[in-house]
Structure 1
Amino acid sequence: MAVSVAVAVVAPAVLFATTLVVVSLTAAVVVALAWMTSTMCWRKATRRPVSGLLVLALGIMTVKTAFMLATGNAFIYFLQPVVVDLVVATVFLGSLWSAVPVVARLAPDFYPVDASLAARPGVRSLFRGLTLFWGIVILAKGSLTLGLLMSLSTVDFVLIKGSAILTLTLLAIVTTVAWSVSVARREGLLPVAR
């Protein structure tokens, strides 16, 4: 899970911020997209599995970059993630009314989940709870991004947003792992801690 997040989220964010400060916004969007594209190509060329997170991040990055290069509008470039967060949070929260919430669909990217494991009541409850949790986290991320975008310069926005969103994301990941381990222990999938 940490590798998926590092490749799909952390690395392009660091490359983007560094290139923005050293070169320009246009160079930063191109470098970040190049990273995502080369990562996807490398994984396919080496026949490694491509995580859903990487595919989602690449799709979002491609649309944002194309729009930025076409318009040159930095505000709209940075506003797009807020809109994407709203849409993604809506998908997460809306999937709670379906038979298979979003986290149940993404879980196999992070842990081998077969049909019998996914059918366990504790695991099903975990997937629903994590779907609600991540829907709320994504809404909070979008709100924080919008607040920072409206109040900071472009460079300050990128630097502060990057660390703030990374902190929020890491806290959400730690919570997700702790919650999952707790459920795995209750379900007898992991030994109980002493």
Structure 2
Amino acid sequence: MGSLFVAAIVPGVLLWTMLQLFNVAVAVIAVLAWMLVAMGWRYATKRPVSVLLLLTLGILTIKTAFTLVSGNTFVYFVQPVIADVIVAVIFLGSLWTARPIIARIAPDFYPLSASTAAHPEIRALFRRLTLMWGAVILAKGAITLWLLLSLSTASFVLIKGGAVFTLTVVATVVTIVWSAAVVRRQSPLQPA
């Protein structure tokens, strides 16, 4: 939850507040400054800095520079839509492989033995969850694009965060409940 707060909630609130108080230029600079401070704090406190965080900071820097030079906020806000489409295609495309994405990342959230992961009902669960999350990510991108095209910038920033957060929480709860139900039916299966 701490990482979500630092990487998503604070930047969203900061962006919306700066848009209300100042303008787009101040808002995007404030968000970039926040991310730089957060990164600097991780370095200063000897906490690990993930490649994903560095990549996010790099993309944010490019988006901010482009927005400041061109004055075009659309590119700044449409980038997550493009990323969502790419990630959704990866999730859905992985359904044609022996191990869909959820099967690959599940052990990061819940330790599974190889025999448990190979169980037919668990494999079916991984496929269904991969399909569901691919659809959720695609829906997130579609909602973001629709909001971006239909709302003012300030309203977009305010509403998008809540809409995406709600969708993600609902999908997470469904994932947990669905997984627990499958594991309960397979009571002999134990974590690694």
TM-score, reference length from structure 1? 0.76
Cα distance in 1 for residues equivalent to 2:166 and 2:24? 23
2:160 maps to 1:161: yes
Judged with a 3 Å threshold, the aligned counterparts in structure 2 of structure 1 residues 106 and 178 are, in CA distance, closer, same or farther, namely: same
Stretch deviating more after TM superposition (90-99 or 112-121): 112-121
Question: Paired residue for 2:176?
Answer: 177
1:9 is displaced (CA, Å) by 3.6
Q: Higher relative contact order at CA 8 Å, sep ≥6: structure 1 or structure 2?
A: 2
> Residue 99 of structure 2: SS of its match in structure 1?
coil
Q: CA deviation at 1:105?
A: 2.5
Larger radius of gyration: 2
- Aligned to 1:124, the other structure's residue is in SS state helix
**Structure 2 stretches lacking a partner, 5+ long:** none
TM-score (normalizing by structure 2): 0.76
Contact 1:19–1:28 (CA under 8 A) maintained in structure 2: yes
Q: Which residue of 1 aligns with 2:78?
A: 79
Cα contact 1:44–1:50 (8 A) shared by 2:
no
Q: Per the alignment, in what secondary structure is the counterpart of residue 99 of structure 1?
A: coil
Change (3 A) 1:128 1:40: farther
- Percent of aligned positions that are identical: 54
Q: 1:148 to 1:115 in 2, by over 3 A?
A: same
Matches for 1:100-115 after TM superposition, within 5 Å: 100-115=99-114
Counterparts of 2:94 and 2:66, CA distance in 1: 29
The structure-2 alpha-carbon separation of the partners of 1:177 and 1:59, relative to structure 1 and needing over 3 Å to count, comes to farther
Deviation at 1:96, TM superposition (A): 0.7
Is 1:143 aligned with 2:142? yes
Write out per-residue CA displacement over residues 125-164 of structure 1, whole angstroms, 9 at most, x where no aligned residue: 2221111101111111111111111111110111111211
**Which residue type is aligned with residue 151 of structure 1?**
S
CA distance in 2, matches of 1:45, 1:113: 33
CA RMSD of aligned residues (A): 3.2
Structure 1: give runs of 5+ residues left out of the alignment. none
Aligned pair count?
A: 188
